[in-house]
Chains A and B, each alone.
Chain A
Amino acid sequence: MAEKPVSEYRGSIHQQQKDLMLDWYQHLDHAAETGDPPTVSMMISGNCVELLEGFGAIPQYPEVNALQLAIRHQSLEPILAAEEMGYAGDNCAYVKADIGCMLKGITPTGGRLPKPTLVLCNFVGCNTYVKWFEHVAAFTGAPLFVLDVPFLRNDTPSQADIDYVVRQLKEVVGQMEELIGRKFDYDRFRQSVAYSSEVEDLWSQIKHLAKNSPSPFDAYFDAITLMGPLYVYRGKREGVEFFRAALNELQQKVKAGEGVYDQERFRVVVEGPPPYPYFRTFRDMFASWKAVAVASTYSTVGGLWEFGFRHDAKNPFESVAMHMLAQNVTNRNYLQRYDQIRRYVQEWNADGVIIHFVKSCRLFSAGQGDMRDYFTKQLGVPTLYIESDLEDPRYFAEAQTKNRIDAFFESLEHAKRTATHAVGA
């Protein structure tokens, strides 16, 4: 465990991202103070942040709070507080951390979080979210709207699915008009959808830059830092500016032939959320092998854009519905996730797949053994399966995790060396 952390790419966009997020937290603090702007609690996955723009409202993301706490090593206290009131050891720790914070008045930044104007449960595939937001509403007394997004059980959503979601989106608009006492600004909504499609285009280009070797950024660890703005500012001009700058900076790196690591040794695809309480430790375990993630499923929870989908200002409601139904990893079925990873491995030219099982999230984790089976036995792709949690520090076993990761890359190393021997012979 004595290895030096290998330093990875830190560009100016990382600082810009911090500023943007701080700015957002300040707005939330202001909202807590004055009730303005109105805020809406939402789930990251398949979020319809564009709709909020039509009211000049801003989103609150309990997940973001939870992960910020974990990354700052502050998650255990609220988790224990929630367990004291009866939440089970095996309940999602995101929920426990979030509820615990509400009870203890803890926030990641120390600033305050407002009581949401509306708790909008856009649960896409995550049944835990239905409970989570029901509890948030019960504890805060805020009004709850459950936007029932049919799970994607076939390749594409049916017209019935789309109509159903569109109808509900319009019901949400109606309810928000009552709650906020302001008319829905359709043009502003459409403008926001237009910004989103721009951002999505830039983001998609960034994702594709990882096809270069060396990859200019880590599509797991670095992608996560870029995800904040993606969810909070996607429908805004600031978002467009930020991602234009990001794309620019990363393109420069590609031109200069710079990568995350001076000599990129391994390219992997990562499935599953990271262990936020040990984010740095975990990253260093890959850094010590100069292993870069060229793609990750976790960076597509909020939306899956690298395969072409964009919001469409010509049909704003339909495209928002489409995004919620079919263009985020959590509402797509398990086999579609297999296929997404398969494409990453092949088109992004990866050496193997890392599956990180997190006990909190059964949406991600239930069945990952079968996923592993598909990749190792059916496709012959080297796959590593490790377990911990995304929020609860009590489930990260450093020695075991490092041991498995080292063993995995030792075997990849061996495979490469024998391969070169073969070539040499």
Chain B
Amino acid sequence: MTYVTSLPPAQGDYYFMKEFERTFDSLYEGMQDLSFAGVRRWKELHPGAKSVAFFPVYAPVELVHAAGMLPVLLSGAGDRLDIQHADSRFGSFICSIIKTTMEMAMTRHLEPFDGLLFSSICDSARNLCFVIKRNYPQMYVDFLHLPHSTSDSSVEFLEQEYHRIIIELERLGGAPIQPAALRHSIALYNIQRSLVRKLYELRAQSPHLLRAWESYVLIRSGNFMPVEEHIEILKQALDYLPTRPGKKRDAIRVVIEGAFCEQPPLELIRLLENAGCDVVEDDLAIAQRWFTDDVPLSGDAVHALAESYVHRSVYSSVRHDFSKPRWEGLAEKVRSTRAEAVILLIAKFCEPAYFDFVLFKKKVDEMGLPHLLLEFEEKLFTFDRLRTEVETFVESLVFD
């Protein structure tokens, strides 16, 4: 997937602009492609190299990268795959991403991958890990226990856990992971994450320069290509966007919270904007903004990763730091982006999000902010219901 790298670096010129506008669509196609053509192409270019896919939300991609493998996000099949088998394995009241991921496995869509990595985000995802393990024994399927506590013993434990994963990856790749390589990978992902942070800052400052769906595509597409390529794209975006023509519009500044795992259809994000919302913060690409700060490059690299997770990762409904409640994190987001409203965008049957809604709502009410709860499924074809609710919400804020 080399979209922008083929472009002349000359900034601001017309040709570049036109091309860049087009990249949003091509990037989107790339991340929607269930045949994972990009991954296959990468493997052709790197004979013998492996690819490991990881289920949301967070995964230590640095380890995978340092092993010379391509880490790829498993983000469900959205509305692009009809469920024709998965219901036989997962019953009612289970969220869609679990079923579409199972369906992908049962219809051989996961063949480009040599390994699958799951982590302790919720019970459904955890069970999916072992169901897939039973049905596809030839594949490396692993479960990563990320601590739900922030004591020093948690750091020590996670460090050990990472070492366990490293051994598995080395077995899969057939070569040891060199400390230097790991440090290099960490450095790369530090750059990627800092660029992503910049992009969010830019959008929060001037939403008219970057629509929510565009930044969404720009960032999430990074999960389906080598990090090196993604860094290039982000750099060019950050060069280009400030010069992009576009005028401020009269809209409500909203924070979107809750869609950290299963993803809403792009149409839904567009719908929010068309109804008169400027999305100034969201947790749609939370994994790429996981650390509030760079992972230290000094000292032991594995320790640095573990310690960063436990002490310097962003809050989410599946990552717990009981000394710093998540609803306080949401409050910070709202303040720092001067948001006027919060939209709690929750995937149907997502229990962690359901639970957090109660305390998020409490906090938002205390702050005197209007909020809207929207429930979605990755598989949606008609949007009238949601549109009516969003428009009503906006109308209730703008009509005198």
Direct contact of A and B (CB under 8 A): yes
Where the two chains meet, the residues of A that have a C-beta atom closer than 8 Å to any C-beta of B are: 85-88, 90-92, 95, 123, 125-128, 130-132, 134-135, 138, 144, 146-148, 150-151, 153, 158, 160-161, 164, 167-168, 171, 333-335, 338, 357, 359, 361-363, 365-370, 373-374, 385, 387
B89 contacts A373, CB within 8 Å? yes
* B residues 345-383 in Cβ contact with A at 8 Å: 348-349, 351-352, 354-359, 361
* B residues 64-122 in Cβ contact with A at 8 Å: 87-94, 98, 120-122
State how many angstroms separate the Cβ of B118 from the closest Cβ of chain A.
9
Q: Is B244 an interface residue (CB 8 A)?
A: no
The interface centre, meaning the residue of B144, B320, B351 with most chain A CB atoms within 10 A of its CB, is B351
Q: A127-B352, A373-B89 are in contact. Are A146 and B148 (CB under 8 A)?
A: yes
Q: How far is the CA of A10 from the CA of B93 in the complex (A)?
A: 36
Q: How far is the CA of A161 from the CA of B120 in the complex (A)?
A: 15
A146 contacts B130, CB within 8 Å? no
A335 contacts B134, CB within 8 Å? yes
Q: Is B151 an interface residue (CB 8 A)?
A: yes
Q: List 10 A-B contacts (CB under 8 A).
A: A86-B357, A88-B354, A91-B351, A128-B123, A167-B153, A171-B151, A362-B124, A365-B93, A367-B127, A370-B134
State the 7 A-B residue pairs at the shortest beta-carbon distance, nearest first: A131-B355, A334-B130, A160-B160, A88-B354, A367-B127, A366-B124, A148-B149
Q: Closest B-chain residue to A359, C-beta based?
A: B93
| Residues of chain B contacted by A359 (CB below 8 angstroms) | 92-93
B164 contacts A158, CB within 8 Å? yes
Q: Is B36 an interface residue (CB 8 A)?
A: no
A151 contacts B89, CB within 8 Å? no
Q: How far is the CA of A338 from the CA of B127 in the complex (A)?
A: 12
State how many angstroms separate the Cβ of B316 from the closest Cβ of chain A.
13
| Residues of chain B contacted by A132 (CB below 8 angstroms) | 355
Q: How far is the CA of A126 from the CA of B355 in the complex (A)?
A: 14
| B interface majority secondary structure | helix
B143 contacts A373, CB within 8 Å? no
A370 contacts B89, CB within 8 Å? yes
| Residues of chain A contacted by B133 (CB below 8 angstroms) | 335
B322 contacts A131, CB within 8 Å? no
State how many angstroms separate the Cβ of A31 from the closest Cβ of chain B.
25
Q: How far is the CA of A334 from the CA of B354 in the complex (A)?
A: 24
A127 contacts B128, CB within 8 Å? no
| Residues of chain A contacted by B352 (CB below 8 angstroms) | 127, 131
Q: Is B178 an interface residue (CB 8 A)?
A: no
Q: Is B157 an interface residue (CB 8 A)?
A: yes
Q: How far is the CA of A396 from the CA of B154 in the complex (A)?
A: 42
Q: How far is the CA of A144 from the CA of B321 in the complex (A)?
A: 12
Contact of A363 among B92, B123, B325, B354 (CB under 8 A): B123
B124 contacts A153, CB within 8 Å? no
B87 contacts A369, CB within 8 Å? yes
| Residues of chain A contacted by B391 (CB below 8 angstroms) | none
Q: How far is the CA of A177 from the CA of B146 in the complex (A)?
A: 28
A123 contacts B131, CB within 8 Å? no
Q: Closest A-chain residue to B358, C-beta based?
A: A86
B351 contacts A128, CB within 8 Å? yes
A366 contacts B354, CB within 8 Å? no
Q: Number of residues in B with C-beta < 8 Å to the partner?
A: 52
State how many angstroms separate the Cβ of A340 from the closest Cβ of chain B.
13
Q: How many A-B residue pairs have CB under 8 A?
A: 149
Q: Is B300 an interface residue (CB 8 A)?
A: no
Where the two chains meet, the residues of B that have a C-beta atom closer than 8 Å to any C-beta of A are: 87-94, 98, 120-124, 126-128, 130-131, 133-135, 142-145, 147-149, 151, 153-154, 156-157, 160-161, 164, 318, 320, 322, 325, 348-349, 351-352, 354-359, 361
Contact of A365 among B91, B122, B157, B322 (CB under 8 A): B91
- Given A158-B160, A333-B143, 19 more contacts at CB 8 Å? A86-B361, A87-B354, A87-B358, A88-B357, A90-B348, A123-B148, A125-B126, A127-B126, A134-B322, A146-B322, A147-B149, A151-B145, A357-B91, A359-B93, A362-B122, A366-B98, A367-B127, A367-B128, A369-B91
| Residues of chain A contacted by B154 (CB below 8 angstroms) | 148, 164
State how many angstroms separate the Cβ of A401 from the closest Cβ of chain B.
14
A148 contacts B148, CB within 8 Å? yes
Q: A88-B357, A138-B359, A171-B151 are in contact. Are A366 and B123 (CB under 8 A)?
A: yes
State how many angstroms separate the Cβ of B94 from the closest Cβ of chain A.
5
| Residues of chain B contacted by A338 (CB below 8 angstroms) | 134
Q: How far is the CA of A50 from the CA of B247 in the complex (A)?
A: 66
Q: How far is the CA of A126 from the CA of B161 in the complex (A)?
A: 20
A168 contacts B145, CB within 8 Å? no
| Residues of chain B contacted by A88 (CB below 8 angstroms) | 354, 357
State how many angstroms separate the Cβ of A167 from the closest Cβ of chain B.
4
Q: How far is the CA of A11 from the CA of B143 in the complex (A)?
A: 45
A333 contacts B130, CB within 8 Å? yes
Contact of A153 among B90, B121, B145, B156 (CB under 8 A): B145
Q: Closest B-chain residue to A336, C-beta based?
A: B130
A362 contacts B123, CB within 8 Å? yes
B358 contacts A85, CB within 8 Å? yes
The interface centre, meaning the residue of A146, A368, A385 with most chain B CB atoms within 10 A of its CB, is A146
Q: Closest A-chain residue to B373, C-beta based?
A: A86
The interface centre, meaning the residue of A88, A160, A164, A367 with most chain B CB atoms within 10 A of its CB, is A367
A90 contacts B98, CB within 8 Å? no
Q: Closest B-chain residue to A148, C-beta based?
A: B149
Q: Closest B-chain residue to A126, C-beta based?
A: B123
Q: Closest B-chain residue to A89, C-beta based?
A: B354
Q: How far is the CA of A363 from the CA of B125 in the complex (A)?
A: 10
Contact of A367 among B130, B349, B358 (CB under 8 A): B130
State how many angstroms separate the Cβ of A366 from the closest Cβ of chain B.
4
Q: Closest A-chain residue to B93, C-beta based?
A: A359
The interface centre, meaning the residue of B130, B147, B156, B325 with most chain A CB atoms within 10 A of its CB, is B130
Q: Closest B-chain residue to A167, C-beta based?
A: B153
The interface centre, meaning the residue of A135, A153, A168, A333 with most chain B CB atoms within 10 A of its CB, is A153
| Residues of chain A contacted by B151 (CB below 8 angstroms) | 168, 171
State how many angstroms separate the Cβ of A398 from the closest Cβ of chain B.
18
B88 contacts A369, CB within 8 Å? yes
Q: How far is the CA of A359 from the CA of B164 in the complex (A)?
A: 34
State how many angstroms separate the Cβ of A85 from the closest Cβ of chain B.
7
| Residues of chain B contacted by A373 (CB below 8 angstroms) | 88-89
Q: How far is the CA of A303 from the CA of B337 in the complex (A)?
A: 49
| Residues of chain B contacted by A86 (CB below 8 angstroms) | 357-358, 361
| Residues of chain A contacted by B164 (CB below 8 angstroms) | 158, 160
Q: Closest B-chain residue to A164, C-beta based?
A: B157
Q: A167-B153, A362-B124 are in contact. Are A387 and B92 (CB under 8 A)?
A: yes
| Residues of chain A contacted by B128 (CB below 8 angstroms) | 366-367
A131 contacts B356, CB within 8 Å? yes
| Residues of chain A contacted by B156 (CB below 8 angstroms) | 164
